[in-house]
């Protein structure tokens, strides 16, 4: 262990999915837990380009506090940094201590509370992240899923798993993926808020470990136009008040229960608007294309990795209970999305489906891109937005989805997204890929 004094960093993750905050000593954290640290409303409108989106709802006016959630502290000595990796998740509040209606973490907390209050259901979620490690050798070490690719990056994967484990993040797997220098890290399911916290920790720990090994990690959705993309797959399952699986019914379509079917039907109904939140920037839409092993249609599929909602497999041997394993994976997301906003919007869309009592959507087999327009219409399949501008327009046109956000939060989100679009407006797609590769 280093003898350099450590600092805990009290953080919030903003609308550009950048985790920002201020460090505090252990003693100050203990003394200042009640009042936190100062923050500025316009910080929410910072873009990935280190500009503040203008116009925004706040300007130069106002003050806030970030309160530490000491139950959401993630620390480890295993990143090889001189000081301890120590993140404390924070909630943004007003000066009288009330939750700020633009705090992304509060947005998710409120969505989860609303789901439970209205339906008695809670949510378990897990985030899978794909990313590239720059600085790798070429050749055999880049073979997909290969032992050589894993070993070429050594000791990255064992250190990542050890650090995540020590920090309490519960990793399941980390391994070399399909793309050149691509890796994937899989976390165990947790309650919704903890799952989003853990997504933040994973991203920051991957970056720190890579840096300490003389490499650079990038979570950009499309490192290059001809390369494999990086997604964030959000796994969701529903549990009842007693913690029992509530989304599974072996007799239901795709083994979805009536409530599970209604929840995911709500997500499909609002998918065009949701993509603006879960795939929020220009290069996101270079990835969301047919035959790209990513999402492209409003599609529920069983074990199909082109479906936007994929019913995941369960294991039946060894006495395993499928109900406890059952989950649905949302695939139209990437790491440019704020995880609290992404999961919170999915919860709100699912709740809309439950409120309306929507029937379970059909489980579609086959390739929508190869179907006729009439076949797609018969199955309720529509193309997801094909650009960031189209997704933002879909969000602004969806009155229900707009209502999930406070006016200032929606205005801030749109301001950041339009500012980032303007920042790359003069670039060709290859240059956009490279720009975001370096930013994320």
Kindly report, residue by residue over 104-122, the tens digit of the pLDDT: 999 999 999 999 999 999 9
What pTM value is reported for the model? Answer: 0.95
CA dist 72 and 198 (Å) reads 9
Q: What is the pLDDT of residue 141?
A: 62
Query: Given this model, what pLDDT does residue 135 score?
Result: 78
Determine the number of helices (DSSP H) and then strands (DSSP E) in the chain: 15, 14
How far, in Å, CA of 215 to CA of 222, rounded?
19
Burial class (CB within 10 angstroms; exposed 0-12, middle 13-18, buried 19+) of 244: exposed
Length of the chain, please?
A: 440
Q: What angle do CA 48, 53, 57 make, to 5 degrees?
A: 135
Q: What is the pLDDT of residue 170?
A: 96
pLDDT digits (tens, 9 = 90+) for 269-289: 999 999 999 999 999 999 999
**Domains of the chain and CATH, by start:** 8-100 (3.10.20.70), 108-439 (3.30.590.10)
What is the 8-class DSSP label of residue 407?
H
What's 360's DSSP letter?
P
Write down the pLDDT at residue 28.
79
The token pair at 20 is 């920002």
In whole angstroms, give the CA distance from residue 349 to residue 30: 38
Question: Facing residues of 93 across strands?
Answer: 65, 99
CB-CB contact of 220 with 162 (8 Å): no
Q: β-strands 122-134, 190-191: how paired?
A: antiparallel
Residue 216 phi, psi dihedral angles, 5° rounding: -140, 130
Side-chain-facing half-sphere of 55: CA atoms under 13 Å: 4
**β strands within 193-278, DSSP E:** 216-218, 232-239
What are the Cα distances from residue 413, in Å, to 228, 337, 386, 416? 28, 11, 19, 5
Token pair in block for residue 353:
């489906």
| 3-state DSSP assignment of residue 176 | strand
- Which stretches of the chain score pLDDT less than 50? none
Mapped onto helix, strand or coil, the DSSP state of residue 104 is helix
Q: What is residue 138's predicted lDDT score, i.e. its pLDDT?
A: 55
Buried b (16+ CB within 10 A) or exposed e, 33-62: eeebbebebbebbbbbeeebbeebbbeeee
Assigned token pair, 248 = 């599974």
C-alpha 114/C-alpha 348 separation (Å) is: 8
Distance from chain centroid for Cα 296? 18
């Amino acid at each position: 262990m280093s003898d350099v004094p450590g600092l805990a960093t009290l953080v919030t993750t903003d609308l550009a999915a950048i985790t920002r905050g201020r460090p505090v000593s252990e003693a100050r954290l203990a003394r200042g837990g009640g009042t936190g640290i100062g923050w500025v409303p316009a910080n929410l409108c910072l873009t990935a380009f280190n500009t503040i989106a203008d116009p925004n709802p706040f300007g130069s006016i106002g003050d806030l506090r970030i309160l530490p959630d000491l139950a959401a502290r993630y620390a480890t000595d295993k990143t090889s940094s001189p000081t301890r990796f120590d993140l404390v998740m924070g909630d943004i509040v007003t000066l009288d201590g009330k939750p700020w209606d633009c705090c992304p973490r509060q947005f998710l907390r409120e969505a989860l509370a609303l789901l439970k209050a209205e339906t008695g259901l809670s949510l378990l979620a897990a985030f899978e992240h794909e990313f590239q490690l720059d600085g790798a050798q070429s050749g055999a070490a880049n073979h997909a899923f290969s032992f050589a690719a894993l070993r070429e990056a050594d000791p990255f994967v064992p250190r990542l798993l050890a650090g995540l484990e020590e920090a309490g993040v519960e990793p399941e797997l980390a391994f070399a993926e399909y793309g050149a220098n691509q890796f994937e890290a899989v976390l165990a399911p947790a309650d919704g808020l903890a799952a989003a916290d853990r997504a933040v920790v994973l991203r920051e720990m991957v970056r720190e470990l890579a840096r300490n090994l003389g490499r650079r990690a990038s979570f950009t959705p499309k490192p290059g136009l001809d390369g494999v993309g990086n997604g964030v797959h959000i796994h969701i399952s529903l549990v009842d008040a007693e913690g029992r699986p509530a989304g599974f019914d072996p007799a239901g379509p795709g083994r979805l229960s009536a409530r599970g079917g209604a929840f995911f039907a709500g997500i499909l109904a609002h998918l065009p608007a949701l993509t603006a939140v879960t795939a929020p920037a220009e290069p996101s839409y270079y990835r969301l294309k047919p035959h790209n092993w990513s999402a492209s249609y409003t599609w529920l599929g069983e074990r199909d990795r082109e479906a936007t909602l994929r019913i995941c497999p369960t294991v039946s041997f060894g006495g395993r209970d499928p109900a406890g394993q059952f989950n649905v994976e949302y695939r139209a997301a990437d790491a440019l999305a704020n995880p609290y906003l992404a999961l919170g919007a999915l919860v709100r869309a699912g709740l809309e489906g439950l409120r309306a009592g929507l029937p379970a959507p059909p489980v579609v087999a086959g390739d929508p891109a190869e179907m006729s327009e009439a076949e797609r219409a018969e199955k309720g399949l529509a193309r997801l937005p094909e650009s960031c501008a189209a997704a933002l327009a879909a969000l602004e046109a969806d009155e229900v989805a707009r209502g999930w956000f406070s006016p200032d939060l929606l205005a801030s989100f749109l301001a950041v997204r339009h500012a980032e679009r303007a920042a790359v407006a003069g670039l060709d797609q290859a240059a956009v890929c490279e720009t975001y590769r370096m930013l994320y």
